[in-house]
């Protein structure tokens, strides 16, 4: 081994920036568009971006310059739409919608334009773009996304997964964050790339240095087990893993299936796991009505009913907007206790 | 200082012929389609362009191969002017597998990317940001392409258009915004819907040229578009052209325009018909003879005859096509 080993324990945000850097080096048509992606940087007196927004792309402006790291005014409908038009005409934009809560401002361009263009044009136009955005409440965090209130803390990805034509992916940590983003950039159509706000800086993981793809549309078994399947999305995978470790002490061996892709969902992987474990708990930090949690539960009820030995349980946020007070916000996001309680409830413990 | 692009030019005989041919072909397409719909052809929603032909023909005559357009719900004219074959266009309106979009789009989504047409788009104003994106592609990839973005007076009130104007201006993109002010957003008159001195005047707010043009005069449209396109191609940024025009029929296949505008107003507008005026101009200037003009008109009728026949005889999409092309399955490099 070389003496000059590099520390490859990266945060998710570092892994994401690395994925963008590698793809931008490989393919000159890849550009990054969004508010403060350059942080006003690029000027001689201001070489690095500044602030929370800019930290999501730190270092990119210095390498790629302002022709490819494109700051925008606050105009989500305009710049997301511009990314759609750019994708139709030869660029492969990564468009940064800093908060999923802003989806309402630009929903038409995602839902009616990006998602449907290929289909309604009879396959003649491709829209190879990535919509990168963040979701989730962050109880206890001190910057955006923690104590940020009802309009900057939402999860709400089901409103995107619902739309045919959009692929929607949610990494659960630095490694698959890198692989999924590289796959998303290389995909021929629009991919929504969801970053949990808690995960950005909190988790570190060894991440392979070279470019690699994590296949879109494939779930992964994050922890093999034989007694109960816990299907998870994004950071909830980590919450479920913590719960699984504690359940071992009770003699319950949980399998954690990290769905990774919300649409198209890897239904087969969930059914296959349930066929071995006989029960399913779904953990989703979104609100429950018309949610991914209930969609996964319904699919399992439809396709895996014969294997089920107990009722399917879902663990979600409550049916409410995200509250501000830290005292309430910490109760809002599902935690390991809630997952364990669901497993107990399912087993009549 | 007067630059070459500022001088008022006269279009060549070739351009005059192009504009006349495209205008009569659009009119023939729309009037034939309207007759079919009025006698029972079930095609869903369609928005006829009759009356506004000079705008699309003038602008597209000034564009070059490799340039792009974005369109509106009233987009048949834009498609024909930019060069989409009327046979698959008509087949698309009929919902046939031989249509431009394989029957998956219909009148409100007709597209042919091969001729630089980025799609009829019935979400009002939504095409304007796409034009910004096409401008960004042209600038970053160095293609030299200019994008003309058509939108209506109704879209002049939506945020997408204003955001697009601002983005194109700050990035100095090669985009020409063409507002077709036909006086009505569905049935809402423009006088009610617009604050301030008008649509073209709004260009000043973005620091770009804005100009009102007689949209019933194809030559005037060509001249205005040529200046704006020349400016865009030279890297001097976007422009806004407000074409004053009129639609002869209702907003769509479903409304009676006499419920919200007068017969006198309609007659006055039709007395300034763009095709009649251009025919008179071409005869007076001896650019084309009556026989040549008659031949162009007969040719348009024959082409629409063929288009209708092609549409009628084309196969319907197969049931399995419901779920094709939801996702892109080819990889980069395989695109059309």
B150-205 tens-digit pLDDT? 999 999 999 999 999 999 999 999 999 999 999 999 999 999 999 999 999 999 99
First to last CA, chain A: 51
Residue B334 confidence (pLDDT) = 46
A 104-143 → B contacts, CB under 8 A: 108-109, 112-113, 117-128
With an 8 Å Cβ cutoff, are A81 and B163 in contact?
A: yes
- Which residues of A are known to be catalytic? 76, 152
Share of chain A above pLDDT 70, in %: 93
B335 touches chain A (CB under 8 A): yes
Residue A218 exposed, middle or buried by CB count within 10 Å (0-12, 13-18, 19+): middle
Distance from CA of A298 to the nearest CA of B (A): 22
**Residue B70: CATH number of its domain:** 3.40.50.970
pLDDT at A5 over 60: no
- Mean of pLDDT values over A208-226: 98
Assigned domain for B63 exists: yes
A270 touches chain B (CB under 8 A): no
Confidence class for position A55, pLDDT limits 50, 70, 90:
confident
Assigned domain for B193 exists: yes
With an 8 Å Cβ cutoff, are A82 and B112 in contact?
A: no
Confidence class for position A138, pLDDT limits 50, 70, 90:
confident
Its pTM stands at 0.95
Assigned domain for B126 exists: yes
pLDDT at B1 over 90: no
**Mapping DSSP to helix (H, G, I), strand (E, B) and coil, where does residue B276 land?**
helix
Q: How many CA atoms lie within 13 A of B180 on its CB side?
A: 33
Assigned domain for B336 exists: no
Q: Which residue of B has its CA nearest to A69?
A: B140
With an 8 Å Cβ cutoff, are A188 and B136 in contact?
A: no
Assigned domain for B328 exists: no
Torsion of CA A103, A107, A113, A114, to 10 degrees: 20
Confidence class for position A58, pLDDT limits 50, 70, 90:
confident
C-alpha dihedral sign at A74, B141, A22, A117: positive
Confidence class for position A319, pLDDT limits 50, 70, 90:
very high
Q: Which residues of B touch A92 (CB under 8 A)?
A: 332
- Mean of pLDDT values over A224-244: 98
- ipTM for the complex? 0.95
Domain residue spans in chain A? Answer: 9-206, 220-347
B263 touches chain A (CB under 8 A): no
pLDDT at A342 over 50: yes
Domain range spanning residue B160? 13-323
- When divided into structural domains, chain B yields a total of 1
pLDDT digits (tens, 9 = 90+) for A98-107: 999 999 999 9
Higher pLDDT, B42 or B69: B69
Residue A1 confidence (pLDDT) = 40
Matching CATH number, A220-347, of 3.30.420.40, 3.40.720.10, 3.40.50.920, 3.40.190.10:
3.40.50.920
Torsion of CA B74, B77, B83, B89, to 10 degrees: 60
A220-347: same fold as A9-206?
Answer: yes
Task: Please give the CATH topology (third level) of the domain spanning A9-206.
Answer: Rossmann fold (3.40.50)
- Mean residue pLDDT across chain B: 94
- Mean of pLDDT values over B245-251: 95
Residue A49 confidence (pLDDT) = 65
B140 touches chain A (CB under 8 A): yes
Q: Which residues of B touch A93 (CB under 8 A)?
A: 133
Q: φ and ψ at B317, to 5 degrees? A: -65, 150
Assigned domain for B290 exists: yes
With an 8 Å Cβ cutoff, are A85 and B111 in contact?
A: no
Share of chain B above pLDDT 90, in %: 91
Assigned domain for B335 exists: no
Residue A43 confidence (pLDDT) = 59
B 92-121 → A contacts, CB under 8 A: 99-105, 109, 111-114, 118-119, 121
- Mean residue pLDDT across chain A: 93
Assigned domain for B6 exists: no
């Amino acid at each position: 081994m070389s003496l000059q080993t590099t520390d490859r324990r990266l945060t998710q945000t570092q892994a994401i920036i690395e994925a963008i850097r590698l793809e931008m080096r490989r393919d000159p048509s890849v550009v990054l568009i969004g508010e403060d992606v350059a942080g006003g940087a690029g000027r001689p007196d201001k070489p690095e971006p500044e602030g929370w927004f800019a930290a999501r792309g730190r270092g990119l402006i210095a390498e790629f310059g302002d022709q490819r790291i494109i700051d925008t005014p606050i105009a989500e409908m305009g710049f997301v739409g511009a990314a759609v038009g750019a994708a139709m005409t030869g660029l492969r934009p990564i468009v940064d919608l800093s908060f999923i809560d802003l989806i309402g401002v630009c929903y038409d361009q995602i839902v009616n334009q990006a998602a449907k263009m290929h289909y309604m044009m009879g396959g003649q136009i491709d829209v190879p773009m990535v919509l990168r955005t963040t979701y989730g409440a962050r109880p206890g965090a001190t910057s955006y996304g923690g104590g940020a209130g009802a309009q900057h803390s939402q999860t709400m990805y089901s409103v995107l997964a619902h739309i045919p034509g959009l692929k929607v992916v949610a990494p659960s940590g630095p490694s698959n964050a890198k692989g999924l983003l590289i796959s998303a950039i290389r995909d021929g159509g629009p991919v929504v790339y969801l970053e949990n706000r808690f995960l950005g800086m909190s988790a570190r993981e060894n991440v392979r240095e070279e470019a690699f793809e994590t296949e879109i549309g494939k779930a992964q078994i994050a922890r093999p087990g034989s007694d109960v399947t816990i299907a998870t999305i994004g950071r909830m995978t980590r919450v479920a893993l913590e719960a699984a470790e504690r359940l071992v002490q009770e003699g319950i061996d949980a399998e954690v299936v990290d769905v990774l892709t919300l649409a198209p969902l890897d239904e087969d992987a969930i059914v296959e796991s349930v066929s071995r474990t006989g029960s399913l708990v779904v953990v989703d930090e979104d609100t429950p009505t018309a949610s991914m949690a209930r969609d996964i539960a319904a699919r399992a009820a439809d396709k895996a009913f014969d294997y089920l030995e107990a009722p399917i349980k879902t663990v979600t946020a409550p049916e409410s907007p995200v509250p501000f007070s830290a005292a309430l916000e910490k109760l809002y996001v599902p935690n390991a206790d809630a997952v364990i309680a669901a497993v107990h409830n399912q087993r009549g413990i | 200082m007067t630059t070459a692009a500022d001088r008022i030019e006269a279009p060549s005989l070739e351009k005059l012929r192009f504009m006349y041919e495209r205008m009569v072909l659009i009119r023939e397409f729309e009037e034939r389609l309207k007759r079919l719909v009025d006698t029972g052809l079930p095609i869903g929603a369609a928005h006829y362009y009759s009356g506004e032909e000079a705008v699309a023909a003038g602008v597209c005559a000034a564009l070059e191969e490799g340039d792009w357009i974005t369109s509106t719900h009233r987009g048949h004219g834009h498609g024909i002017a930019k060069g989409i074959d009327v046979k698959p266009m008509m087949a698309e309106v009929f919902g046939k597998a031989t249509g431009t979009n394989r029957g998956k789009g219909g009148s409100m989504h007709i597209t042919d990317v091969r001729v630089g047409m980025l799609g009829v788009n019935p979400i009002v104003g939504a095409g304007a940001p796409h034009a910004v994106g096409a401008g960004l592609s042209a600038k970053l990839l160095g293609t030299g392409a200019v994008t003309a973005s058509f939108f209506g007076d109704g879209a002049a009130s939506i945020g997408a258009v204003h955001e697009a104007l601002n983005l194109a201006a700050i990035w100095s993109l090669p985009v020409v915004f063409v507002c077709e002010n036909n006086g009505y957003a569905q049935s809402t008159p423009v006088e009610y819907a617009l604050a301030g001195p008008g649509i073209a005047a709004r260009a000043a707010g973005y620091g770009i040229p804005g100009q009102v043009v007689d949209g019933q005069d194809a030559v005037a449209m060509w001249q205005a578009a040529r200046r704006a396109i020349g400016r865009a191609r030279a890297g001097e940024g976007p422009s806004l052209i407000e074409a004053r025009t009129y639609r002869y029929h209702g907003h769509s296949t479903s409304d009676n325009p006499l419920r919200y505008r007068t017969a006198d107003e309609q007659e006055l507008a039709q007395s300034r018909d763009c095709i009649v005026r251009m025919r008179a101009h071409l005869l007076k200037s001896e650019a084309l003879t009556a026989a040549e003009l008659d031949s162009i008109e007969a040719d348009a009728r024959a082409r629409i005859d063929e288009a209708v026949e092609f549409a009628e005889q084309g196969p319907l999409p197969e049931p399995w096509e419901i779920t094709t092309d939801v996702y892109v399955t080819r990889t980069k490099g395989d695109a059309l």
